[in-house]
Amino acid sequence: MTGDVLKPSAAGLSRRLAAFVHRSRWEDVPEPVRAHAMRSVFNGFGTAVGGSSDQAVLRLTESLAPFSAGETATVIGHAQRRDALTAAFLNAAAINVFDFDDTHAGTIIHPTAPVAPVVLALAETRPVSGAELLHAFTLGVEVACRIGNAVSPSHYDRGWHITSTCGIFGAAVAAAKLLDLSEDEILWALGNASAQASGLVETLGFMAKSTGVGNAARGGLVSALMAQCGVEGPPRPLEGPRGFLKVCSDQPRPELIEGGLGRDWEMLRNMFKPYPCGVVLNPVIDACLSARANPDFSADRIAEVVVRGAPLLKARADRPEVTTGREAQVSAQHAIAVSLLRGRAGAEEFSDAAVNDPQVKALRAKVHPVEIDAGTPVEAAHVSIRYADGSSVEVTEEVATGSLARPMSDSALREKFVALAHYGCPTIAVAPLADTLWSLADLADAGALMVLARPCPEVARK
C-alpha cells in the first residue's frame, strides 16, 4: 500500500466516512432504523420478483449468461444461478425495472436497487446472519443517500441518473462492511467506486436505464473486492479537487454527508411506492383514483383532462406519445388514462399491452400537456376532468400515497409483494418467502433465504 493514504494530512471527508462505516455496530443502529431497513429489503425483494420476467431483465440475463463464472448466487425469480457479480447486476435491474421500488425523499435515489443485491449475493458465498446483512445494507443506503444529498439538486438536473451514480458508493460500502474490510480498504473501495460512477437520465424509459442500475450494484461489489486485494484508491475520492462531488455537482454541499452521521438516519426518509412509475406520478394517480370513486364518474363522457403539478412533473413525465410500458412509467398522460379507465395502477397497467390498449390510447389523447405550478411540491398534484356536457370534476391531492407524510402500511407492502410475485413469477412460494423476509433480522443464515427466491416445482405443479 502507498503511504499517502495513511498520512494524517490526507485524512478528510472520505476517510472520516470510511472510519464511520468501519466502526459502526448493529447495536448502534436505532430500532426504528433497523425496522425500516427490513421493510426496504422486503419491498425491494418484491419488486425484484415482479420484475424478474420483464423483457429487459430477460435480455440482460441472456447477454451476460455466457460470461458468468460459476453458479454461486441466485437471480431472484430464476432457477439458474450465476456468479455473484452477475447476480448482483441482474437483481438490481429487476428491483428497479418497473420503478416500483423505494425512493429517498429529497434526492429521488432508489437506494435498495444498487445496495441490496450486493449483500444478498455475498450472503450466498460466506456465512452471514440476517442482522449482519441488514447492518451492511443500512450503511450502504446511508452513504448513498448522504452523497446524494451533497450533490443535489444540480447533479440530477445535469442529467446524472442519481440512483446509479450515488448507488455505487452505497453498494461498495455495503460489500466492504460484509467483507469486514479495514478503514483503509473501505476508503479504497470508495475510490474504486468513484472511478466507475455513471448513469444518465437520458436512459429513463428505455432498457438502458437498467444497465446503469445493474452496473452500480456490480461495480460496488467489484470496488470492495478490489480493495480487499489491495487495489488502492485516491485519499479523497469524494471531496478532492477533481473528486466526485466537485465534478458532478454545480454547488456540492459536502457538509450534508457528515452532518448528523450516526444520529439522523437517511434510511427513515426512504419511501415505498404504491405504483410502478416515476414518483412524480404518485399524486397524479391518487387524484385519478379519487375522481374515479365519484358516483357520477364516467370515462366514456370525458372530453379532456388537465393535470397541474410541480415543475419536475412536467420535466420528467410530460410524455403524451408512448409506445412501450417502459416509457409509460414516466408518462403522466398514460398514468391518467389507465388509472381512470381501470381504477387501478399496478404492474399490468404499465405493460406494453396496456399502453397499446385502444381505449387507453383514446383517453390518453384527451390529456393536455402538464401545467406547471411552481409552488406545488412533488408529492402533490391537481387533476381536472371535463365531460362532454360541460360538467367537470376537480381533485387535488396534497400528499401522495407512499410519501413520508402518508406512508404505505406493512399490510399494504405485503399486498404489493404478493401481487408482484403473482405477476412476475407465479411459481414462487410467496408466503414462505414473505414470512422469511419479514423475520430477516433473526435469521442465522441469511443466504438460506435465497433458496426461496427461486421458482418452486411444487407450486408449478398445482
Handedness of CA 163, 166, 168, 173 (dihedral sign): negative
Between 56-60, 187-191, 218-222, 376-380, the lowest mean confidence (pLDDT) is in 376-380
The whole-number average pLDDT for the span 338-351 is 95
Res 314: pLDDT: 93
**The one-letter amino acid at 191:** G
More confident residue, 389 or 11: 389
User: Residues with Cβ < 8 Å from 194, sequence gap 6 or more?
Assistant: 169, 233, 234, 237, 238, 243, 244
Report whether 17 contacts 257 (CB < 8 A).
yes
Between 7-11, 69-73, 268-272, the lowest mean confidence (pLDDT) is in 7-11
Given a cut of 90, whether residue 1 has pLDDT beyond it is no
Domains of the chain: 4-272 (1.10.4100.10), 279-397 (3.30.1330.120)
Given a cut of 90, whether residue 371 has pLDDT beyond it is yes
User: Residues with Cβ < 8 Å from 423, sequence gap 6 or more?
Assistant: 50, 346, 347, 348
User: For 365-425, where are the alpha helices, taking DSSP H only?
Assistant: 410-424
The whole-number average pLDDT for the span 238-264 is 97
- Predicted TM-score of the model (pTM): 0.92
Given a cut of 80, whether residue 153 has pLDDT beyond it is yes
Percent of the chain past pLDDT 90, that is, above it, reads 92
Given a cut of 90, whether residue 11 has pLDDT beyond it is no
CA angle 333, 337, 339 (to 5 degrees): 120
Res 389: pLDDT: 94
Query: Strand 81-82 to strand 73-74: parallel, antiparallel, or no bridges (unpaired)?
Result: antiparallel
Given a cut of 80, whether residue 262 has pLDDT beyond it is yes
Q: Is 349 exposed, middle or buried (0-12, 13-18, 19+ CB in 10 A)?
A: buried
Res 323: pLDDT: 93
Report whether 180 contacts 128 (CB < 8 A).
no
Name the pLDDT band for 205 (thresholds 50, 70, 90). Answer: confident
User: Residues with Cβ < 8 Å from 232, sequence gap 6 or more?
Assistant: 1, 2, 5, 188, 191
Reading phi first (left if > 0) and then psi (alpha if -120 to 50, else beta), residue 8 is in alpha
Report whether 220 contacts 175 (CB < 8 A).
yes
CA distance 135 to 29: 8
Element (H, E) at 372: strand 371-372
Res 427: pLDDT: 96
The whole-number average pLDDT for the span 419-441 is 96
Nearest Cα residue to 48 out of 220, 351, 281, 276: 276
Name the pLDDT band for 6 (thresholds 50, 70, 90). Answer: very low
Percent of the chain past pLDDT 70, that is, above it, reads 97
Q: At what angle do helices 55-64 and 208-228 cross, to 10 degrees?
A: 40
Given a cut of 70, whether residue 2 has pLDDT beyond it is no
Nearest Cα residue to 178 out of 219, 141, 223, 128: 128
Handedness of CA 431, 404, 48, 420 (dihedral sign): positive
DSSP string, 49-110: HHHTTSHHHHHHHHHHGGG-----EE-TT-SSEE-HHHHHHHHHHHHHTTS-SEEETTT---
Given a cut of 60, whether residue 4 has pLDDT beyond it is no
Name the pLDDT band for 457 (thresholds 50, 70, 90). Answer: confident
More confident residue, 356 or 278: 356
Name the pLDDT band for 459 (thresholds 50, 70, 90). Answer: low
Given a cut of 80, whether residue 174 has pLDDT beyond it is yes
Res 7: pLDDT: 40
CA distance 24 to 173: 12
Res 316: pLDDT: 86
Res 456: pLDDT: 86
pLDDT tens per residue across span 66-90:
999 999 999 999 999 999 999 999 9
Mean residue pLDDT of the chain comes to 94
Name the pLDDT band for 394 (thresholds 50, 70, 90). Answer: very high
CA angle 274, 277, 282 (to 5 degrees): 50
The whole-number average pLDDT for the span 99-106 is 93
CA distance 213 to 88: 10
User: Residues with Cβ < 8 Å from 193, sequence gap 6 or more?
Assistant: 168, 169, 171, 172, 219, 220, 223, 237
